[in-house]
Chain A
Amino acid sequence: MRNFVIWVALAIALIVLPNLVSFSQQEVLVFLTINILVVASYRLLTLTGEWSLGHVVIMGVGAYASALVTKELGLWVPLGIIVGGLASALIALALSVPLFRMKGFYFLIGSFAAGEIIRLLWKRFRDPFGGAKGIKGIDPMPDFSIGIYQFDFFEPVSYFYFSAVVVALCLWILWRIEKSPVGLTFHAVHWQDKLAQASGVNLRRYRTMAFVIASGFAGIAGALLAHYIGTINPNSFDVEVMVFVLTWAIVGGTGTFYGPILGCVVLTILNEIVLRELGLEQTRPLIYGLILILSILFMPNGLESIVQKVTRRKDAK
Chain B
Amino acid sequence: MFSNILKKDLSRRTFLKSTAATALSAGLPSIALAAGEPIKIGFLAPLTGATAAWGAPGLSGCEIWAEKVNAAGGIKIGDNSHMIEFVSYDNEYDPAKARTGATKLIREDGVKFVMMLGGDTWPGVQPVADRTGMLFSTLLPSDLSPETTTLLAPTEVHPIYLVTGVQWLAENKPELKTAVMCAQDDALGLPSVATYLAAFEAAGIEMQDEPLLFDPATTDFAPIVTRLLSTSPDIVCLDTCYSDYVHPICEQLFQQGYKGQIISATADFYDQLIAKTSKEFMEGFIFQFPDFDDPALNGDNINFDDANGFYEEYNKRFPGQWGAVSWEYAAIMQLWKAGAEKAGSVEPDAVLAAMKDDGKGKHAFGDADWWGTEMFGIDNALVGDWPVVVIENGKAVIKGFKSIPAWYEQHGDLLIKHMSAYDQMWNQRG
**A residues touching B (Cβ–Cβ < 8 Å)?**
12, 15, 19, 22-24, 26-28, 31, 123, 126-127, 130-137, 140, 148-150, 152, 154-157, 225, 229-233, 235-236, 240, 272, 276, 281-282, 284-285
Which of B56, B95, B131 is packed against the most chain A CB atoms within 10 Å? B95
Which one of B3-11, B223-231, B348-356, B390-398 is at the A interface? B3-11
Cβ A23 vs Cβ B104 within 8 A: yes
A276 / chain B contacts, CB cutoff of 8 Å:
89-90
Cβ B96 vs Cβ A230 within 8 A: no
Interface of A is mostly: helix
**Would you list which residues of chain B between 380 and 430 have a CB under 8 Å from chain A?**
423, 429-430
Q: A132-B186, A148-B2 are in contact. Are A229 and B124 (CB under 8 A)?
A: yes
Cβ B108 vs Cβ A133 within 8 A: no
Complex Cα gap A15–B3 (Å): 12
Q: Tell me which of A127, A140, A148 contacts B423 (CB under 8 A).
A: A127
CB distance from A118 to the nearest CB of B (A): 15
B123 / chain A contacts, CB cutoff of 8 Å:
136-137, 229-231
**B contact residues, total (Cβ < 8 Å):** 44
Cβ B108 vs Cβ A24 within 8 A: yes
Complex Cα gap A209–B74 (Å): 65
Per-residue CB contact flags for chain B residues 5-20 toward chain A (1 = under 8 Å, else 0) read: 1101100110000000
Q: Tell me which of B90, B119, B423 contacts A126 (CB under 8 A).
A: B423
B190 CB–A CB distance under 8 Å: yes
Cβ B5 vs Cβ A15 within 8 A: yes
CB distance from A211 to the nearest CB of B (A): 26
Complex Cα gap A222–B2 (Å): 30
Which of B1, B3, B100 is packed against the most chain A CB atoms within 10 Å? B100
Q: Tell me which of B13, B95, B103, B190 contacts A24 (CB under 8 A).
A: B103
**Would you list which residues of chain B between 64 and 108 have a CB under 8 Å from chain A?**
88-90, 93-97, 99-101, 103-104, 107-108
Cβ A24 vs Cβ B104 within 8 A: yes
B252 CB–A CB distance under 8 Å: no
CB distance from A31 to the nearest CB of B (A): 6
B88 / chain A contacts, CB cutoff of 8 Å:
281
Complex Cα gap A154–B126 (Å): 11
Which of A12, A27, A281 is packed against the most chain B CB atoms within 10 Å? A27
Smallest CB-CB A-B distances: 4 pairs: A231-B123, A24-B104, A136-B123, A27-B100
**Would you list which residues of chain B between 1 and 46 have a CB under 8 Å from chain A?**
1-3, 5-6, 8-9, 12-13
Question: What 15 new A-B contacts, CB under 8 Å, besides A130-B429, A233-B120, A281-B47?
Answer: A19-B8, A24-B104, A27-B99, A27-B104, A123-B185, A131-B190, A133-B187, A136-B126, A149-B5, A150-B6, A154-B127, A230-B127, A236-B95, A240-B49, A285-B48
For B3, the closest partner residue in chain A by CB is A148
Q: Tell me which of A134, A155, A281 contacts B430 (CB under 8 A).
A: A134
Q: A23-B108, A24-B107, A131-B423 are in contact. Are A231 and B124 (CB under 8 A)?
A: yes
Complex Cα gap A152–B120 (Å): 25
B47 / chain A contacts, CB cutoff of 8 Å:
281-282
CB distance from A192 to the nearest CB of B (A): 41
**Would you list which residues of chain B between 134 and 179 have a CB under 8 Å from chain A?**
142, 147
B2 / chain A contacts, CB cutoff of 8 Å:
148-149
For B184, the closest partner residue in chain A by CB is A132
CB distance from A184 to the nearest CB of B (A): 36
Complex Cα gap A287–B118 (Å): 27
For B106, the closest partner residue in chain A by CB is A23
Cβ B8 vs Cβ A229 within 8 A: no
Cβ A132 vs Cβ B187 within 8 A: yes
B107 / chain A contacts, CB cutoff of 8 Å:
23-24
A132 / chain B contacts, CB cutoff of 8 Å:
185-187, 190
CB distance from A202 to the nearest CB of B (A): 39
B147 / chain A contacts, CB cutoff of 8 Å:
137
A225 / chain B contacts, CB cutoff of 8 Å:
96
Q: Tell me which of A15, A157, A233, A284 contacts B48 (CB under 8 A).
A: A284
Q: A150-B9, A282-B47 are in contact. Are A28 and B93 (CB under 8 A)?
A: no
B6 / chain A contacts, CB cutoff of 8 Å:
148-150
CB distance from A250 to the nearest CB of B (A): 22
B48 / chain A contacts, CB cutoff of 8 Å:
281-282, 284-285
A156 / chain B contacts, CB cutoff of 8 Å:
103
For A284, the closest partner residue in chain B by CB is B48
Q: A24-B108, A126-B423, A236-B94 are in contact. Are A133 and B9 (CB under 8 A)?
A: no
Which of B6, B48, B101, B147 is packed against the most chain A CB atoms within 10 Å? B48
Cβ B9 vs Cβ A235 within 8 A: no
Complex Cα gap A27–B100 (Å): 6
Cβ B95 vs Cβ A154 within 8 A: no
For A29, the closest partner residue in chain B by CB is B100
CB distance from B230 to the nearest CB of A (A): 24
Complex Cα gap A154–B132 (Å): 11
A284 / chain B contacts, CB cutoff of 8 Å:
48, 90
Cβ A140 vs Cβ B127 within 8 A: yes
Complex Cα gap A205–B1 (Å): 49
For A133, the closest partner residue in chain B by CB is B187
Complex Cα gap A156–B99 (Å): 11
Q: Tell me which of B94, B99, B430 contacts A136 (CB under 8 A).
A: B430
Which of A28, A131, A232 is packed against the most chain B CB atoms within 10 Å? A131
B104 / chain A contacts, CB cutoff of 8 Å:
22-24, 27
